[in-house]
Amino acid sequence: MLRRVVRNLPQVFERFSSALRLSVFRIGYPSFQCGKGVILKRGARLRMVPGAKLAIGDRVVIDRFATVDSEGELSIGADSYIGQGTIIVAAERITIGQDALIAAYSTIRDQDHGISSAKLYRDQQKTTKPIFIGDNVWFGTNVVVLKGVTVGAGAVVGAGAVVRADVPARFLAVGVPAKARPLADSE
């Protein structure tokens, strides 16, 4: 019995630490919505600017050193997993459905900068376009999703893919840039 208690102490501490950090975040940001059983692992970072919205569904896990940044509207559906070191930045709107599995070091951004030669890049206007990621998707490690993309329900995006065009539901997308094909039931 004592061994079991000692063995479970790290998980208990992680849940307590996560609940405490989320409570502090709720107090500081009235537009933050958070479901039950959400876990922020060590080093995971949430950020919001004034006026932004961030909604996290029940039982979402945001793994170590992941960054979830809302400058507009960002929602993550219930039972989703955001992998270690993943970066999600919503300047306008990013919607992630339920049961999404987003592996480590992926990047999802709904904006980029202009590339005119008349100005320094850092001084150029951002362009934004919403991203929608459906329910029950699976992203491999190091996936990059660019602005304006829709990834349909049940889709799989292979490791290292750069998604710059829509991926239909139940399709597999791989490559740079990602090319999609129907997902066979045996895969």
Question: Where do the domains of the chain lie?
Answer: 2-113+120-178
The CATH number of 2-113+120-178, from 1.10.10.10, 3.40.50.2300, 2.160.10.10, 1.20.810.10, is 2.160.10.10
From the list 113, 129, 164, 170, the catalytic residue is 113
Q: Counting Cβ atoms within 10 Å, is residue 1 exposed (0-12), middle (13-18) or buried (19+)?
A: exposed
Quick check: is 113 catalytic? Answer: yes
List, for residues 121-179, the tens digit of each pLDDT value.
Answer: 788 888 999 999 999 999 999 999 999 999 999 999 999 999 999 999 999 999 999 99
* d(C-alpha 148, C-alpha 66), whole Å: 22
* d(C-alpha 165, C-alpha 44), whole Å: 29
Look over the chain and give the mean of its residue pLDDT values, rounded to a whole number. 91
